[in-house]
A = this chain, B = another copy of it.
Amino acid sequence: MARVVVDVVLKPEILDPQGQAIVGALGRLGVHGVSDVRQGKHFELEVGDEVDDEALARIADTLLANPVIENFTIRR
C-alpha cells in the first residue's frame, strides 16, 4: 500500500473566479502581499502495489481531472 497525492489545477489560461474572490477577501481582511490565488483540488489515494504510474495517470485523467480545462500532477 502506498499513499499517492494527485493535485488538480485549472490550466493557466482558464479564469479562476474562486481564486480571485480569495484575493479580494485577503485585501478586505487586511492581508497584503498576495497577488494571485488559484484554487484546485487535492486527492490522497491509498493504492495497492499493483497500481502503476500508467494506471494512476488514467485515474487522474478520467475521473479526478477534466483534461479540457485542468492539469494534474501525481506525487508518490
Q: Are B37 and A45 in contact (CB under 8 A)?
A: yes
Q: List B contacts of A58 (CB < 8 A).
A: 31
Q: Residue of B at shortest CB range from A49?
A: B33
Does A68 count as interface, using CB distance less than 8 angstroms? no
Instruction: List A residues at the B interface (Cβ < 8 Å).
Output: 1, 7-9, 19, 22, 25-26, 29, 31-48, 50-51, 55, 58-59, 62-64
Q: List B contacts of A31 (CB < 8 A).
A: 55, 58-59
Q: Are A63 and B29 in contact (CB under 8 A)?
A: yes
Q: Residue of B at shortest CB range from A8?
A: B42
Q: Residue of B at shortest CB range from A48?
A: B33
Q: Residue of B at shortest CB range from A51?
A: B33
